Chain A
Amino acid sequence: MTSTAGVPPVSTDDTTAAKPRGRKLTGYWLILPGAVWLLLFFVIPFYSLVASSLFDPKGSVLTGYEMTWHVGNYVDAFNQYKGQLGRSLLYAGLATLTCLVVGYVLAYAIAFKAGRWKNLMLVLVIAPFFTSFLLRTLSWKLILADDGWVVGVAQAIHLTDVLNIIGLTTTDDRLLATPFAVIAGLTYNFLPFMVLPLYASLEKVDIRLIEAAGDLYASPMRGFFKVTFPLSLPGVVAGTLLTFIPAAGDYVNAQLLGSTNTKMIGNSIQSLFTTQGDYATAGALSVILMVIIVAAVMAYVRTAGTEELV
C-alpha cells in the first residue's frame, strides 16, 4: 500500500473510466459483437421461453406446438410441481446457510490470518473447479456410502438420529439418497461461490477499525458482530446470492445423491423438456422459477440494504 508513492491506487472502475481516451464510436464497435451475442442467445431466448410457456399444453414433439396464449399452463405447472419448487427453495436455502457459516470461517482465515499464504489459499479455493463437477459430486456417493465410515461416525455420535428427527434423513442407517445428502452436495459444490465474494469484502475491511473496537474494550466476539460482520455485509449478500441462485436450479446433486423423494425443480424441468417433450409445462416452470428467484433476490437485497452488486 505504501510503495505506490504519490500515485493514488487505481482500483475502481470509475477512476479509469473518468479519463476515456477512445474516439466516440470505437466503444460501440468494440462491444458490438459480444453484446449482439448476448442479446441473441441470452436475452431473446427468454422471450422464446415465455412464449413456449403459453403454448397449447396438448402439443408434443411429433404434433408440433401451437401458440394459444394458454395462461392456464402456469396454474397447472404450479399445482403439479409445487412440491419440487418448495424443495428446491428449501434445499438451496439450507445449503446457502451452511455455506455462509463454513465459508465465512475460510474467508476470514484467508483475509486476516493467512499472511503470506493468502494467494496460495485463494488458488486452493478455486482448485476444486478444475475437476469435473459431476465427478466430484459422484465422489460424495462414495463418501456417504452405507458401509462407509462417515455413516459409522454419524451413527456413533447419534447425528443420524438427530437428522432423522428433523426430517433430513428417512432411516437412521443411511445418509445417501436422503435430503441430507442432496444438501451436503449442494453445499460442497457451491462453497467457492460463497468464499470468494466474502473474501473480497473482508479484504477491504480496515483492520484498524477492528483494533479500535478492541481498544475500546469490546470483546473479540462483540468486535466481530459490531464491526467486522457489518462491514462484510456486501460480501455476505453477493455470496448468498451467488450460492442460492445456482443451487435452486441445480438438479445434478438431487439426481446423483438423492432419491425419487428429493427431486428438485431442475429435475422436473429437464425431464419435461428432454424426455417428455412437454414444452408448455417446462417453459412455465422455468419462468416460475425465474420469477421466484428474482422476487426473492429483490426482497433480500432491499432488506440487506446493499446496492453495489453489479
Chain B
Amino acid sequence: MTRARRWIGEHLVLGLGLLVLAYTFVPIAIVVLMSFNDSSTSRNVYKFQKFTWDNWLHPGSWADGMADSVWLSIRIALLATVVATALGTLAAFALVRHRFAGRSAANLIIFLPMASPEIVMGSSLLALFVSAGFGGQLGFWTILIAHIMFCLSFVIVTVKARLSGLNDNLEQAAMDLYATEAQTFWRVTFPLVLPGIVGAALLSFSLSFDDFIITNLNAGQEVTFPMFVYGANQRGVPMEVNVIGTAMFVISIAVVLGNEIVRRRQEKALAA
C-alpha cells in the first residue's frame, strides 16, 4: 500500500505532465483524422463521416484556390527564410563576436518584435505602406517584407544561442595550427554553428508559412494558405486543408529530427 502510494507520489507530476502534452496533440490528431474524412455525404464538416483516401489521392479535385494559396505560401516562406536567415546570421555574429556601440539598443530592437502583438505590427506596417503610397500594391512583396521582418528576430536569437554556447578552443587550435582566419571560419566555426542556422531557417519557414494576422492585413488581394483556411471557415472548410496540415506536420517533424540527429553526431564526434 505504502509502496503504491510512494510510486504514485513519484510519478504523479510526470503523469500530469504527459497528460498536458497529450492534450496539446488532440487537435493535431483531429487534423490528421479529418484528412481522411469523406465529407461528400453530409454538409457537417465538423464531424467524421466515413474513411476515404480521396482527399490525399486526388489533388485535382481540391477546392478552388487552395493549391494556389499553398504555392504562394511556399514561395513566400522560402524567400523569407533565405533572406531572414542570411541577415539574421550576420547580425548574430555581430552581436556575439563583436563589440560595438549601440549593441544593447540593437538587442532591444531585436527583442521587441517577439514581444509585440501581431495585430499592432501588422497594422503599423499597413499604415506605413499606405502612407508611402503602396496602398494599391499590397500583395506578394508586402507580405514578403513583413515575413522577413518578423522572422529576423527569431533567427538572430536562435543563431545567437548556438554561437554563444560555442567554446572557442577549437578555433584557437585551428589558428595555432596556422589556419588563416578564413580557413578557421569556413572549416571550424561555420560547421559548428550550422545546426543553429538550419534550426533558425526551419523556424523561419514554419513561422512564415503559418502566419495569419500580419499577413491578412498586408496581403491585398493575395491569398496565402492560412488566409484560405480562414476564408473557407465561413463557407465550410474543405477536408483537403487537413491534407496540407498533416503533410506539413509530418515533413517538419522529419526535418527537425534529421537536424537533431546531425547535431548529436557532431557533438559525439567533438566529445570523442
Contacts and interface: CB of A to CB of B under 8 A. Distances in A.
Interface in B244-271: 244-246, 248-249, 252-253, 256-257, 260, 271
A183 to B, nearest CB: 15
A217 interface: no
B111 interface: yes
A58 B158 CA distance: 45
B125 A41 contact: yes
B17 A30 contact: no
A245 interface: yes
A132 B226 contact: yes
Contact of A49 (B88, B91, B118, B124): B124
A140 B237 CA distance: 13
Interface residues of B, number: 98
Interface in B89-103: 90-91, 93-100
Q: Which of A38, A119, A140, A191 has the most CB of B within 10 A?
A: A38
B111 to A, nearest CB: 5
Contact of B98 (A26, A45, A129, A135): A26
Interface stretch (B49-57, B60-68, B190-198, B208-216): B208-216
A218 interface: no
Contact of B27 (A15, A130, A136, A282): A136
B1 interface: no
Given A34-B90, A142-B30, A49 B217 contact: no
Interface of A is mostly: helix
B4 interface: no
Nearest to A269: B119
A103 B168 CA distance: 36
A32 to B, nearest CB: 8
B8 interface: no
B87 A286 contact: no
B182 interface: no
B152 A37 contact: yes
A212 interface: no
A248 B115 CA distance: 12
A57 to B, nearest CB: 15
A87 interface: no
In the complex, which range does the number of interface residues on chain A fall in?
Answer: 35 or more
Given A13-B96, A44-B128, A134 B230 contact: yes
Given A41-B149, A135-B242, A141-B46, A310 B107 contact: yes
Contacts, number: 294
B164 interface: yes
Contact of B213 (A22, A242, A266, A282): A266
A310 B108 contact: yes
B128 A273 contact: no
Nearest to B126: A273
A279 B127 contact: yes
Given A105-B16, A109-B18, A145 B117 contact: no
A27 B100 contact: yes
A48 interface: yes
Given A124-B21, A138-B237, A41 B14 contact: no
A16 B253 contact: no
Interface stretch (A72-80, A156-164, A249-257): A249-257
Contact of B100 (A28, A51, A119, A282): A28
Interface of B: 11, 13-14, 16-18, 20-21, 23-28, 30-31, 34, 46-47, 87-88, 90-91, 93-100, 106-128, 130-132, 135, 145-146, 148-149, 152-153, 156, 160, 163-169, 206, 210, 212-213, 216-217, 225-226, 229-230, 233, 237, 241-242, 244-246, 248-249, 252-253, 256-257, 260, 271
26 contacts: A3-B271, A17-B164, A21-B97, A27-B99, A30-B91, A30-B93, A41-B128, A46-B124, A51-B131, A109-B17, A109-B18, A113-B11, A113-B13, A113-B14, A114-B17, A125-B24, A127-B25, A143-B30, A191-B20, A241-B115, A242-B115, A245-B117, A249-B118, A250-B213, A290-B117, A310-B111
Interface of A: 3, 7, 10-13, 15-17, 19-22, 24, 26-31, 33-35, 37-39, 41-46, 48-49, 51-52, 61, 65, 102-103, 105-106, 108-110, 112-114, 119, 121, 123-125, 127-143, 145, 188, 191-192, 241-242, 245-246, 248-252, 255-256, 265-266, 269-270, 273-274, 279, 282-283, 286, 289-290, 293, 297, 309-310
8 residue pairs, one from A and one from B, having the closest CB atoms: A109-B17, A249-B117, A27-B98, A45-B124, A139-B27, A30-B94, A130-B252, A34-B91
